[in-house]
Structure formats: structure tokens, C-alpha cells
Structure 1
Amino acid sequence: MTLPEPSAAPDPAATEPAGTVDLTIERPAHGGHFVARHEGRVVFVRHALPGERVRVRFTDTDDGASFWRADVVEVLESSPHRVTHPWPLADALFTAARGRSAVGGAEFGHIALDEQRRLKAAIFEEQLARLAKTGRTVTAEPARGEAADGLAWRTRAAFAVDAAGRLAMHLHRSHSVVPVREMPLAVPAINALRLWTLDLSGIERVDVAAPSGGGDPLVLLVPAAGTSPRRVAAVASSIDGASVGVLEPESGQVRRLTGRTWLQESVLGLDYRVTGAGFWQIHRGAPEALATAVLDGLQPAAGERIADLYAGAGLFTVPLARAVGPTGSVLSVEGSPGTSRDARRNLHGQDHVAIVQGRVDAVLGRWNEPLDAVLLDPPRAGAGKKVVRQILDASPRVVGYVSCDPASFARDLGYFLSAGWTLDTLRVFDLYPHTHHMESFARLLPPSA
């Protein structure tokens, strides 16, 4: 069944604004915002640029808050770095003119790519100075082979479904959804499925993943409460060119409907199996970029003992295990049961690798063997003081820190620096073009190094 074009009905949140004012934008801030001031109060503005004069619609004006939030609805004096947004539904100006808010996921799309990277580097430097009390000149590197327009890089995408059964996405910081007919940041294999043409009635959420090395995508359906198995099967049968499964969000378990429930990935000549609900880097070039940075930074040698913390499906564990060989050892720690199972499959038969599912601090608390090197790739909240202290107590020769958040990294870096460690090398990667997100890899050395 082919559905009609998305409706342009106004978003209720956008048609009942808390008010609009004209502001001058000062500087970028972590989190995809830009700082302005209104009557002495800080306002975090989305979809702006430093130096611009803009008209904004307030989205959060709690009198007790230390700051307010706002979205740009009109540009009065434009920055030379402002460009046409590649995705109208994520463009604040386009959607505001139609009485709606923008969808999330491409909040930097109005900024020229080179300026996006300059801003990201400046934000990273500011976080280092403020939270780690250290200075470092940063350059945000694009992934190797990045498209000139910064599009078509997402190998994973999550969608909502609207009340009419159409593929949809959430508006930023909202439960409201709008139908979509494309996802310009997604790799072609995801858009080629044309899920927006299907009747998805009875489905609450649709997750799509495409292996970076080719092969059929995997579509995971999350049925709405009360949806019959027959209806779910009907939706699955309407999806061509992909494997289809049913995802249980609470447990992460996937039930196969058609095809297979996992994807085959290849990085640096090594093969990985990742279940549909398992964690994997989103950018098609991210696994290679980060794995290369890790190996260059840690320089693992045969016979060494290495811990890979927050190890996921084994993206870094596999090449580290190969580098240390059977005379060495690797401890892989991952909290997610499903992702830890992926790691077990990817390291099957390698007896020198210990794969432990559990909290990192709990595992390190009972781990008594010495470590030559430690790698950590924590979630957005970072590792925290306890885990950093446990790493310091293990006295490794080097620590590698992969981070997806400059604020939590800078905080944790401060703990290392206060213990006398040194930030040796730091690489920042722009692996999420048109968004404010970035990845980084740091090589940390102990006082004796």
C-alpha cells in the first residue's frame, strides 16, 4: 500500500510558543547549542551561528531554571558560514515557516562543513580548558572517504510510526512525530528500502541497520501494544530487500521473521557478527578510523596483558587479541548481555581472551592480574572517578580513551592529570557530520613514562 505525501499540519508545540525575541548569538556551547543572552539570562539557542542576529521562539522558559532554551525561527543578520540545509524537515527555518518544529538528528545542517568542524574543535578545546584545566589545540578530522556533502554515512537509523501508519521521526525534545520520506544522513541501502511507502500500522518503532561492507539491511519492528502477530507478519512481508525481525526493547532479544537477525561487518580485514540490537559504530567509516587510532595509540605487543573496557561486540578486542597473541591476554568487559554475546561469538576459540559481562567497576574490583595497557570506550556519561581510580591502581604503561562526549572525557581526563598522568596524543574525529556529536581518541601516559 502506498501512502500519501506527509501532511504539513502544524505542530501544536510550535503554534503555541512561549514567545519570540530577537537575540545576538555569542558563541557555541556543548550539546548543539549557541549562547545568547536575554534580560541577563543565558539562552541556549539551536540552529544558530556565532555573530548572527536571529529571531527565536522560546521552547523552555522555566522561571526557576538557570537558563532558557530557544529555536531560531528567522535569521535577521546571517553568518557567512550559513548554508542551505540538506534536509528540510530538520531545517528550523523551513519548518518554522510552516508552523512546525524541526526533527532532531541534523542540528548543524545549516552550517558549512568546514565551519562545523572548526566549531566542534573549539567546543572540544573549551571543555578541556574548563573541566580538565588543560590546553590543547584540536582539529576535527573527517573520516577517510567522507562525502563532500557530509551525507549518506549512517548505517543505523531509528524511526517512529505516526497514527496513520507512516514512517516518522520525533521532533527535537518532543513526543510529537512527523512523517518522513527520506533520511539524507543514512547510507543508500537504508533509503533504498523506501519504508515510507509502506503501511506500518500496528508498529510503534522501526530500527534499520545496514552492514558497512554490503549485504542486505536488517529491519527490526517494535509492535505497539495489542498488535496481533498476523499484523506484524503482514508488515514484514511488505518489506523487500531486507531481513526482518521483531525486537523486544526491554530485553534486546530479536525474533526472526525473515532472513537473519545479525549483520556481518569487516574492519581492517577482520570479520565481526553483530546482532540487530547490538551496539556498533553508526558512521560507515567509524570502525576503521577508531580501530586504527587505538592500535596506533596503544601499540600492543606480543605477550602483553590488555583490558578492553566497555568493549561492545569486540571492535577493538579482536585486533588487540591478534596483536598480543596466545602468549598474551585480553580482558573484555561489557555491560549489555546481548552485546557481550556478540563479543563471545567474535572471539570464539581464542582462549587468551576473557569475556566478562557486567559492570566495569565491579569486574575491575575483583580483577587481580596486572595490566600492561587499558582501553576504555565508555558510554556518553563517561567512566567516572571510581573506574579511573581502578585503572590507575592497575599501573598500566598506557591508557587509551575512546570518547563520544567531550565533557565527560574532559572530566575523566582531569582525574588522570591530577594523578600525574599526561595527555600524550589526542585525535578528534568528525564522525557525525551535520550533528554536534564527535568522537575522540586519547593516549594517556603515567608519570614514569
Structure 2
Amino acid sequence: MGESVGTLLELDVTGIAHGGISVARHEGRVVFVSDAIPGESVVARVTEDRKKSFWRADTVSVTTPSEHRVDHVWPEAALDRDPAERPGGAEFGHIALAHQRTLKHDVLVDSFSRFAHVDLTEVLGRDVVVEAAPGDDAANGLGWRTRVRLHVDEEGTAGPFAARSHTVVPVTGLPLATATVQESAPLARGAMPGASVLDVLAPSGSEGARLVVDEQAPTAVTEVVGHRTFTVDDTGFWQVHRAAASVLTEAVQDLVDRDRLDADGIHLDLYGGVGLLAAAVGDLVGPKARLTSVESAGRATEHAQENLAEWIGARAEPGRVDRWLARTVQTASRSELDRYRAGTVVLDPPRSGAGREVAVQIAALQPAQVVYVACDPVALARDVATFADLGYRLEALRAFDLFPHTHHMEAVARLVPVA
């Protein structure tokens, strides 16, 4: 920390950066400002100046508000509280919902321009739209989280961490959570003595919520997506938004080019979890589909095998995706390679993206198409650039606002071999 930490600055906010933080300049230096909106003038307190190239600051008051500024959806995160005591997890909660999607659109377009050297409007033939999930506009983007992680302080009070901090903030409500989660979250002071981490979740396949304390041994629960049910661990990965699994299933099915979908191909679901997207592809191909889901989490792989049981040709294989791909590329027979070449690859990697090594191995299999589900626009753009070097071009892209009142979004892209 330097001498400027704690200094109050008057700033004109000019843009939005990846990560949901606004951008301003002070005497030529970039300042990343929380709780602001592009176009505003604010007073912000410097919180970090370790890097000479930029500072970080928290808004403490607004001199000239944006027309898109609204009362924060989470009262404890509003400007009248000290920044150190504002809970994290709703960093766009002071911005009108439609404008949040405009900002997310801007970040997505900028990410592709900077990291993939792609003009999305030019490639897609239209402007990309960040689409709302069903019901979110009517609910003002509230009540969508089916899973919430809380932390417990020394007094036994559960709450979220403050933004960019490990300080537990006591709160009286969780407005982004579903009613069931909100009703079941033990937010009263001192309600969880001796605990450290608490997950509150409301699986769609059961009534009521579950409390998982200190990552206890996993228990299988059921999630319902359309006409399908999926077994998943209560401590395992599942999409957080109540509609996300359905939205992404439909998006993957929409982005798969049916003309490139060969019923005789081997279709891959990489980072497959419990088989959600493998099932989405399987429904397109039919009962004889050859599906292989690859997932590093052993229990998730077991659940995937169960969830995909209706397809005789379905396999769920445990292992790291990069190692599985490398082994497959090296050991597959000629006939198997022909089927991989005829296949569709779906991947839903972690926030950091698939990375170059995985992209190289996918391209080595020469699949007919790659459908990439991403929760980070910069990671997606970087990987799209890598795939372009490997002979796969971006052909289609959709984006979804599956995390209202936060900076996060999901995007689904189709990559196809360059003709």
C-alpha cells in the first residue's frame, strides 16, 4: 500500500472493464472504480495503489448520477454503507437491469475485438444481444439463485464476504436468491456457532432447501430440466440460476448445426459435469447416439453415467480433459478417428477457459463442429483466437444474462472448420 490509499478523488467515469468494474482516469492514471456507472461523476476512495499503472477505488458518493442508476437491490450494498461493509455478489445492483445487459454486451464485444481480433457484428451479420432468462424481467432480476454460499464469522453469524475481502458481512436478506433459499438461510446473528462455510441450496427436484455445513460428505439430489431429471451432488457443480440449465440446454441445441450433426459420429461433452450438455446433444442425435462425457470429478462422472443411461452408446469417463484428449488422439484407431471427425464437441470449461493445449487436442480430432459454453468473455475470446489459428472459425454466438445484478454472463459459440 502507498501514500495514496485512503485519498478521496473526484472522478469522471468513462467505461466498463472486464470484471464489472468501472474505469476512470486521474492525472493520466487508470483508476478502477467500484459501484459506479459509465457517464457518472463520483467521489471515490483509493483502496489500492500497488501497481503504478492503475489504482483501485470505491465510490463513496455520486456527484452526477447516471440516468441508469437505481436504488440498490441489496440495501446492505448501497452507497450509504462504508465500502468495506458492503456485501459482494451484486456489483451491478445499482444499475437498471436493461442497462446491465448493455454493459455486458459492451464487455463481450470489446473482449472479442481485443483478444480474438474479431468484429462480432461483422462475423455474425448482426449485433449480439445479451438475452434475459425467462421470468427475470418480470422479477427485476431477483430471486434466481438456487445456491448460495455463506461464510461464518467468529460470533457464528453467517453472511457473504464483503467485496474483494474475506470479511463476513451480516445481512438481513439475500435478494438474488429464490424464496426457498432466502427463507432457509440462517442469517440471524450467532445462528451458526462453530461453523465456517455454509451452502444453502434448493434443488428443483425436491421441496424445501438443504443446508450443507463445512462441505460435509456429499448427498445426491435431483435437478429437473424439461422432461429430464439429473442426479447431482449437493456439494457438486450445478448451474446456479433457476432457469440456467434449461436455457443452456436449448442454446446448445440451437447452436449445433444440424447439417453437421452426424448420427454415426462420436460426440464429446468435455468438462461434462453430470451430463447436462451431453444429454442435450443426445436428444438431437437420437437413441443410438455415441456420447462420451469427460469430467475430472469422480462422483460427477458416476452421476453422468447414470444420467445418460438411456443412450446405449453413452460413456462417462473420469479424468482431466487435457490428458484424456492427448491419450485419445494418440491411441484411437483409424475407424475411431473417423467417428471423432464426424462428431460434435461440446465443452463447458471453468472460468479460466479451455486453454491452448486443450484447443490443440480438440482440433487434432478434427470434429465437424465445436460448441463452446463460456462464463468468461475474455477466456472465450482468447480460446476463439486459438481455434482460429488451428483452422476453426467463429460462426455463431449467443449470450445470456444468467447472473442478473452481477457482471457475469454466459455465452455459447459455434466454431466450424475453415472451408
User: What is the match of residue 402 of structure 1?
Assistant: 373
Q: Of 208, 211, 216, which residue of structure 2 is paired with 1:219? A: 211
User: What is the match of residue 352 of structure 1?
Assistant: 313
User: What is the match of residue 5 of structure 1?
Assistant: none
- Is the 2:288–2:311 Cα contact (8 Å) retained in structure 1? no
Q: Deviations over 1:175-228 (max 9, x none)?
A: 211212211000011111151237210111110111235523221001xxxxxx
Q: CA deviation at 1:364?
A: 0.6
- Is the 1:404–1:437 Cα contact (8 Å) retained in structure 2? yes
User: What is the match of residue 177 of structure 1?
Assistant: 168
- Is the 1:218–1:263 Cα contact (8 Å) retained in structure 2? no
Q: CA deviation at 1:312?
A: 0.8
User: What is the match of residue 154 of structure 1?
Assistant: 145
Distance 1:17 1:423 in 2: 44
User: What does 1:38-437 align with in structure 2 at a 5 Å threshold?
Assistant: 38-62=26-50, 64-91=51-78, 93-96=79-82, 100-136=84-120, 137-148=127-138, 149-197=140-188, 199-222=191-214, 247-248=215-216, 253-254=217-218, 261-298=219-256, 299=258, 300=261, 302-348=263-309, 350-367=311-328, 368=332, 369-370=336-337, 371=340, 372-437=343-408
Distance 1:418 1:290 in 2: 27
TM-score by length of 1: 0.84
SS of 1:195 mapped into structure 2: coil
Q: CA deviation at 1:153?
A: 0.2
Q: CA deviation at 1:374?
A: 0.5
Distance 2:5 2:417 in 1: 53
Q: Call closer, same or farther: CA 1:196–1:208 in 2, change over 3 Å.
A: same
Runs of at least 5 residues in structure 1 that lack an aligned partner in the other structure: 1-12, 223-246, 255-260
Runs of at least 5 residues in structure 2 that lack an aligned partner in the other structure: 121-126
SS of 2:81 mapped into structure 1: helix
User: What is the match of residue 123 of structure 2?
Assistant: none
> Which stretch of structure 1 is more off in the superposition, 338-347 or 128-137?
338-347
Percent pairwise identity: 42
SS of 1:57 mapped into structure 2: strand
Distance 2:48 2:398 in 1: 35
Distance 2:77 2:145 in 1: 16
- Is the 1:402–1:439 Cα contact (8 Å) retained in structure 2? yes
- Is the 2:197–2:213 Cα contact (8 Å) retained in structure 1? yes
TM-score by length of 2: 0.90
Q: CA deviation at 1:301?
A: 5.0
Structure 2: which amino acid aligns with 1:407? Answer: V
SS of 2:80 mapped into structure 1: helix
Q: Call closer, same or farther: CA 1:79–1:349 in 2, change over 3 Å.
A: closer
Q: CA deviation at 1:420?
A: 3.6
- Is the 2:185–2:200 Cα contact (8 Å) retained in structure 1? no
Q: Deviations over 1:66-114 (max 9, x none)?
A: 32111111001111111110101222x1213xx7431110000110011
